[in-house]
Amino acid sequence: MAMKKKPVTGMKDILPREMEIRDYAIGLIKETYKTFGFTSVETPAVEHIENLSSNQGGENEKLIFKILKRGDKLLSAVGKMAETVPESADAEKVPDTSILTDSGLRYDLTLPLSRYYSNNANDLPSPFKALQMGNVWRADRPQRGRFRQFMQCDIDILGEQDIVAEIELILATTTLLGRLDFKNFTIRINDRRILKAMAAYSGFAEESYDDVFITLDKMDKIGLEGVKEELLGAGYPAESVEKYIELFSAVTGGAGDGETNDTLAALKLISEKLGDFLDSGISDNLETIISSVEGAKAADFRMKFDPTLVRGMSYYTGPIFEISMDEYGGSVGGGGRYDEMIGKFTGQATPAVGFSIGFERIVMLLLENDFKVPGAGEKKAYLVEKGMPSEKMQKIMKLAADERKEGRIVNISIMKKNKKFQKEKMQQEGYTEFVEFFTDRDF
């Protein structure tokens, strides 16, 4: 059978130039998060199909790479499935292929972490501060810059209900971004309970909240007027829509794009407007998170209360946050509190907050900005004439060993006929010094 040279559809081979940046970023991530007391964990790439299909993953559950059963189990499943294949050409009936699979590739790191914690809680500290980096897979439609295998990088604090967890996550993430030379970015913050209180205050029915939020989420694209039109078009009571839009308008000073100059004043205003619809502790907590992060931040960014921030996943229960960067249109990371997911495994609610950075987007931005990995070190090339006698080869290897011990990069290769071309190519790879060894000369 002919061998295929390209990677499978939608996945990519990573070349040395990008890997250098990835390796550097991975090292910096581990080093930075460690100073905040996070410890690394790893979960298998393969997860039970039951867990992957448990409605925790939203749209991602449609994108699972499923793994075929093996051996007798596969044959038995095939037999059973055959019975479900339509006998007539009835287009409505499709065979039940779900019985062919018992597992799949994880589509995120949050679900496996919840399983991990419920499986190992007795061996873990409480609260538990976890750093998880690893690939995830989604059978998305292939498109530029989006791949079917990509790295995620999550920090989570499990078992801590106090907002110290939110503060720590935001400080850790922003400190890392600062060390990667990112500047002038924004952390937008909101609370799912504020979102709900705003909808309740306006008189929307509780079962329509999620749909209302999907429209609200488009604010940065269609503006306040666009949101209003879409809500009216969807048939919500005009009175509710009016009240809802007025709230946002008041907070944003009518700017219509969620912009506000004084973030704490905006938070205070919304809290006053919502009155009994919102427990005042919730806005006080957001205020403390914002102030504490602003007071201790180690990077050039600002915190912004943004009542239009929704975050897609329905599992969030409290504060939610997102990183916005001017250089990159969308979000380059985000997270929030999800106090109810782990309970789905353990039967016992465990408070949890997480913050995920968009590792691939960050690497892409670093590549585009021609980021130079600091301290890459001196790169030296030894060019050795072919047929070097054994004793002389020993000497060359010993010289190299001594240099490498000092941390220098020494690349030993056989001298080519076109030595000039060989050196030019190596210079492109960053080799600045060349040492030549000939069979008939002493060294």
Q: What minimum distance in Å lies between the beta carbon of 103 and its own copies?
A: 5
Toward its own copies, which CB reaches closer, 277 or 431?
431
Residues 241-260 touching its own copies, rule: CB under 8 A, are none
Q: Is 85 in the site for its own copies (CB under 8 A)?
A: yes
Binder among 28, 99, 149, 364 for its own copies (CB under 8 A): 149
CA dist., res. 318 & res. 77, Å (int): 43
Selected binder of its own copies within 218, 268, 408, 423 (CB under 8 A): 408
Could you say whether residue 79 binds its own copies (CB under 8 A)? yes
Compute how many other C-beta atoms are within 10 angstroms of the C-beta atom of residue 397. 13
Of 99, 298, 349, 373, the one binding its own copies by CB under 8 A: 298
Residue 80 vs residues 84, 87, 264, 365, 398: alpha-carbon distances, Å: 7, 14, 61, 50, 66
Residue 425 binding its own copies, by CB under 8 A: yes
Query: Which of 219, 220, 239 minimizes the C-alpha distance to 230?
Result: 219
The verdict on 81 binding its own copies (CB under 8 A) reads: yes
| Region near its own copies per CB under 8 A, out of 193-201, 326-334, 353-361, 380-388 | 380-388
Cα–Cα dist 353/39, whole Å: 15
By beta-carbon proximity to its own copies, the closer residue of 200 and 393 is 393
Q: Say whether residue 54 binds its own copies (CB under 8 A).
A: yes
Nearer to its own copies, 273 or 395 (CB): 395
Judged by CB under 8 A, does residue 273 bind its own copies? no
Report the alpha-carbon distance of residue 246 to residue 241 in Å, rounded. Answer: 8
CB 155 within 8 A of CB 38: yes
Site membership for its own copies, residue 141 (CB under 8 A): no
The answer to whether 404 contacts its own copies (rule: CB under 8 A) is yes
- Tell whether residue 30 is a contact of its own copies (CB under 8 A): yes
State both tokens at 81.
Answer: 């499935």
Among 125, 142, 312, 330, binds its own copies (CB under 8 A): 125
Q: Does 383 bind its own copies (CB under 8 A)?
A: no
**DSSP assigned state of 127:** S
Label residue 261 exposed, middle or buried (CB < 10 Å: 0-12, 13-18, 19+).
exposed
Q: Total residues contacting its own copies (rule CB under 8 A)?
A: 120
Tokens of 354: 């997480």
Contact flag: residue 314 with its own copies (CB under 8 A): no
Identify the DSSP state of 146. Answer: B
d(CA 332, CA 361): 6
